[in-house]
Chains A and B, each alone.
Chain A
Amino acid sequence: MKRRVLALLLASIMILALGLSGCASTSSEPVATEPAAETSEPTTEPVQEPVTVSFWHGYTPEKTEVLDEMIARYQAANPTVTIDARFVASGEEMLQKVQAALLSGEEPNMLWGYPTWTGVLASSGKLVNLGAAMDSEWKADLPEGILNAGKFEGDVYSVPIEAGTLYLIYNKDMFAEAGIENPPTTWDELYEDAKLLTKGEQYGVWLPIEPNERTSWTWETFLWQNNGELLNSDSTNIGFNTPEGLEALEFYTGLVKDGYSPTAIGQDPFLDQQAAMIYGTQGAAKAYITKYEMNVGVAMLPGNKTQATALGSNHYFMFKSDEAVEQATLDFMKWMTTGENHAEWAIRTGYLPVSESARTSERYQKFGEENPYMIEAAKALTMGQARPPIEEYPKLSNVLSSTIEKIVYDEMTAEEGMAKIQKEADSIFK
């Protein structure tokens, strides 16, 4: 009996030990194997500790291929550095992964993400103040507006890597059929054209109404075109509970309620030829033109009181670690965001280049001549407004988009909707 108990005790200890060692080995694996692979290549560099930078991103497989190619080139030039880049999650889901990683201390050194995350990420206290770490030449190379998109409580916590703006993508065939020559440039023209283009199962324009960030983002362009502001001057509450804001809300929901924009969509309303116009990024336009070979035109968004569009950018964040890793991460970030390398990245992925040195590079100039729609997009970039990188933005965006949906489905009027947004904003910004 005694021996049996002893055996069981031993067995359970072994199971536990196995479990623990299993956990331990998985976390140390990448560090242990990758520098080893590195040493198999002939290195002539003086003795320097090999450094591994873990990098989480959310790129599509095609973009990941380009990224891997560029990383290989960077590593060839910097043999002691290994960039361990991996796809973790796309879009907003990345933030959830990072949250879990931060709590367990498994966060990456470098993170690709949206500047709207800055507030929550900074509250962890583990984010590196990149504005202080970047040299002045690098900072001057980046447009202030985009750099400030990652600003939180006075500090810049991220480096922009990609930019995009919303602009009008339209189906030239449908326009010709409806007898419209030029894309709309004002709200009135947008309304008239949408009316002309709507027939049967075809709609004039697609303005999203689902409760998500895309809806808020699209509506914000209407607000800005109407000289409205998302936040008040000291960012302590919303700034669009004004006649301008209400007008933007009424116009947007009106287009949907009057039946010129679909409330239910298939997989892709533009590709399915369900809508003649959509508000999309240059990346989407590129796909429609080159991948699906549609007869597509692009134009600035129709304005009202002024011309405006939404500026979206993806940024690199850095989490605190030891100095050598932070230095290597910073160096790789600079390599990716400036000069010819950045031009190559922008051209091959379809994003707009952010740094001046990339835009003026020979390579990009030549590319612009061959692809005029990218130049149109670059023009829009100068009119772009960024979303505020405040901690409250995700909540505000939720309230905004779900209210738009309720107005469209006649649950409330635009005035009641605005009152609801104000009421919820009061508790968000308390």
Chain B
Amino acid sequence: MNKNKLTPYLLIAPTFVLFTIFFLFPLFYSFSLTFVEWNGFAIDKTFVGFSNYLRLFEDEDFINALKNTITYALLTVPLSVSISLVLSYILDEKVKGFQALKGIFFLPHIVSLVAVGVVWSWIYLPDKYGLLNVILGFFGIEIHQWLHDPDMALISLVIIGVWKSIGYNMVIFIAGLVAIPKSLYEAAEIDGAQGLQRFVYITLPLLKPTIFFVMVSSTIYSLFQIFDIVKVTTNGGPIGRTEMLVTYLYKVGFTNYEMGYASAIAFVLFAITVLITIVQKKFIEEK
């Protein structure tokens, strides 16, 4: 009997060993770094206690990055979730070429973020140099700058973020939609429910767990992983308007070489993410 209990542990052993080396160890190591001052090169680290955490409250650049990240998430998540929900609802109604369309929407998700960033930065080039401006100009819309305009830069990034995440969210929504019994819709139809009513009273309530999952994962995604695109397109500029927490911690760590402070930022980001997830869960459950 005892041996039977051992088998599963042995089965996960190879993965767990790798997990420990490449995940748990770095996690604890970087936590220990939050209490030191270290440039990443020197042999000696200086112990500084909690001063790395205290410094966060006075760091204008950190507060700015926090503000930008939250703004980005607040804009991207609802947009992406609602657009993909509507699109998948339409696609679920047996549109012609359903598979091909699904593929097209999903494509941006599998393309490397760096490649996406480079291509978008060309599309967004200012004045007559950018593709988007040329196309908009054809319709008589004149916008001169995207990534270079302090007021437009973040919005430009939101557009990329939404474009990139729609396909992935759609796949999850379509799976959720398929799971809703068709008999419910038929019953509703007999009772005289219109298209919109069916969507609001049947689809939305039954899709709630899926919506929750997509919202949480998109929020975490836009908080944690909005890095590659920013690094390639704006690098945080202009005047720090697109600086995100992750790009800021990268700069602190690998341009300013302040490993301790960068680790402290990383752990604050971690705490924020956990907090948001708990709040979202509470919110959805109460509803």
**Does any Cβ of A come within 8 Å of B127's Cβ?**
yes
**Once bound together, how far apart are the Cα atoms of A133 and B239, in whole Å?**
45
**Does any Cβ of B come within 8 Å of A46's Cβ?**
no
Q: For residue A120, which residues in chain B have a CB less than 8 angstroms away from its CB?
A: 39-41, 257
Q: For residue A1, which residues in chain B have a CB less than 8 angstroms away from its CB?
A: 3-4
Report B41-100 residues with CB < 8 Å from chain A CB: 41-43
**Once bound together, how far apart are the Cα atoms of A411 and B240, in whole Å?**
11
Given known pairs A12-B13, A15-B14, the reply for A92 and B255 (CB within 8 Å) is yes
B10 CB contact (under 8 Å) in A5, A99, A395: A5
**Does any Cβ of A come within 8 Å of B238's Cβ?**
yes
Q: Which of B108-116, B143-151, B201-209, B269-277 forms contacts with chain A?
A: B143-151
Given known pairs A267-B125, A402-B240, the reply for A124 and B14 (CB within 8 Å) is no
Given known pairs A1-B4, A201-B127, A266-B125, the reply for A409 and B239 (CB within 8 Å) is yes
B129 CB contact (under 8 Å) in A15, A123, A266, A409: A266
Contact between chains at B128 and A201 (CB < 8 Å): yes
Report A3-29 residues with CB < 8 Å from chain B CB: 4-5, 8-9, 12, 15-16, 19
Q: Determine how close the nearest CB of chain A comes to the CB of B32; give it in whole angstroms.
A: 15
A398 CB contact (under 8 Å) in B6, B150, B238, B256: B256
B150 CB contact (under 8 Å) in A4, A96, A409: A409
Q: Determine how close the nearest CB of chain A comes to the CB of B223; give it in whole angstroms.
A: 23
Given known pairs A8-B11, A409-B150, the reply for A2 and B3 (CB within 8 Å) is yes
In the complex, the chain A residue whose C-beta lies closest to that of B42 is A123
**Does any Cβ of A come within 8 Å of B17's Cβ?**
yes
Q: For residue A19, which residues in chain B have a CB less than 8 angstroms away from its CB?
A: 18
In the complex, the chain A residue whose C-beta lies closest to that of B129 is A266
Contact between chains at B257 and A16 (CB < 8 Å): no
Chain A CB within 10 Å — which of B43, B237, B254 has the most? B237
Chain B CB within 10 Å — which of A2, A102, A266 has the most? A266
Q: Determine how close the nearest CB of chain B comes to the CB of A126; give it in whole angstroms.
A: 9
Report A378-409 residues with CB < 8 Å from chain B CB: 391, 394-395, 398, 402, 405-406, 409
Q: For residue A409, which residues in chain B have a CB less than 8 angstroms away from its CB?
A: 150, 238-239
**Does any Cβ of A come within 8 Å of B161's Cβ?**
no
Binary contact readout A115-128 vs B (1 if CB under 8 angstroms, 0 otherwise): 00000110111000
Report B123-140 residues with CB < 8 Å from chain A CB: 125-129
Q: Determine how close the nearest CB of chain A comes to the CB of B145; give it in whole angstroms.
A: 5
Report B232-256 residues with CB < 8 Å from chain A CB: 235-240, 251, 254-256
Interface residues in B, total, Cβ within 8 A: 36
Contact between chains at A265 and B11 (CB < 8 Å): no
**Does any Cβ of B come within 8 Å of A264's Cβ?**
yes
In the complex, the chain A residue whose C-beta lies closest to that of B146 is A264
Q: For residue A5, which residues in chain B have a CB less than 8 angstroms away from its CB?
A: 3, 6-7, 10
In the complex, the chain B residue whose C-beta lies closest to that of A263 is B148
Contact between chains at A121 and B150 (CB < 8 Å): no
Q: Determine how close the nearest CB of chain A comes to the CB of B228; give it in whole angstroms.
A: 15
Given known pairs A267-B125, A394-B257, A405-B237, the reply for A12 and B10 (CB within 8 Å) is yes
A102 CB contact (under 8 Å) in B41, B128, B148: B41
Q: Determine how close the nearest CB of chain A comes to the CB of B83; give it in whole angstroms.
A: 29
Contact between chains at A264 and B7 (CB < 8 Å): no
In the complex, the chain A residue whose C-beta lies closest to that of B58 is A427
Given known pairs A266-B129, A402-B240, A405-B237, the reply for A12 and B42 (CB within 8 Å) is no
Binary contact readout A127-146 vs B (1 if CB under 8 angstroms, 0 otherwise): 00000000000000000000
Q: For residue A391, which residues in chain B have a CB less than 8 angstroms away from its CB?
A: 39
Q: For residue A340, which residues in chain B have a CB less than 8 angstroms away from its CB?
A: none
Binary contact readout A58-98 vs B (1 if CB under 8 angstroms, 0 otherwise): 00000000000000000000000000000000001000100
Contact between chains at B126 and A406 (CB < 8 Å): no
Q: Determine how close the nearest CB of chain B comes to the CB of A257; give it in whole angstroms.
A: 14
Q: For residue B235, which residues in chain A have a CB less than 8 angstroms away from its CB?
A: 210-212
**Once bound together, how far apart are the Cα atoms of A4 and B255, in whole Å?**
52
Contact between chains at A394 and B127 (CB < 8 Å): no
Q: For residue B41, which residues in chain A have a CB less than 8 angstroms away from its CB?
A: 99, 102, 120-121, 123-124
Q: Determine how close the nearest CB of chain A comes to the CB of B44; give it in whole angstroms.
A: 9
Q: Determine how close the nearest CB of chain A comes to the CB of B127; give it in whole angstroms.
A: 6
Binary contact readout B1-21 vs A (1 if CB under 8 angstroms, 0 otherwise): 001101100110110011000
Q: For residue A12, which residues in chain B have a CB less than 8 angstroms away from its CB?
A: 10, 13-14
Contact between chains at A9 and B10 (CB < 8 Å): yes
**Once bound together, how far apart are the Cα atoms of A103 and B125, in whole Å?**
39
**Does any Cβ of B come within 8 Å of A173's Cβ?**
no
**Does any Cβ of B come within 8 Å of A426's Cβ?**
no
**Does any Cβ of B come within 8 Å of A189's Cβ?**
no
Q: Determine how close the nearest CB of chain B comes to the CB of A10; give it in whole angstroms.
A: 10
Q: For residue A121, which residues in chain B have a CB less than 8 angstroms away from its CB?
A: 41
**Does any Cβ of B come within 8 Å of A106's Cβ?**
no
A8 CB contact (under 8 Å) in B7, B18, B240, B257: B7
**Once bound together, how far apart are the Cα atoms of A409 and B237, in whole Å?**
11
**Once bound together, how far apart are the Cα atoms of A313 and B39, in whole Å?**
24
Q: Determine how close the nearest CB of chain B comes to the CB of A15; give it in whole angstroms.
A: 5
Contact between chains at B7 and A4 (CB < 8 Å): yes
Q: For residue A210, which residues in chain B have a CB less than 8 angstroms away from its CB?
A: 235, 237-238
Contact between chains at A394 and B256 (CB < 8 Å): yes
Given contacts A124-B43, A266-B129, 13 further A-B contacts (CB under 8 A): A1-B4, A12-B10, A99-B40, A121-B41, A210-B235, A210-B237, A210-B238, A264-B127, A264-B144, A265-B148, A266-B126, A267-B129, A394-B256
CB pairs A–B below 8 angstroms (10 shown): A5-B10, A92-B255, A103-B40, A124-B41, A201-B127, A210-B238, A211-B236, A267-B125, A394-B255, A402-B240
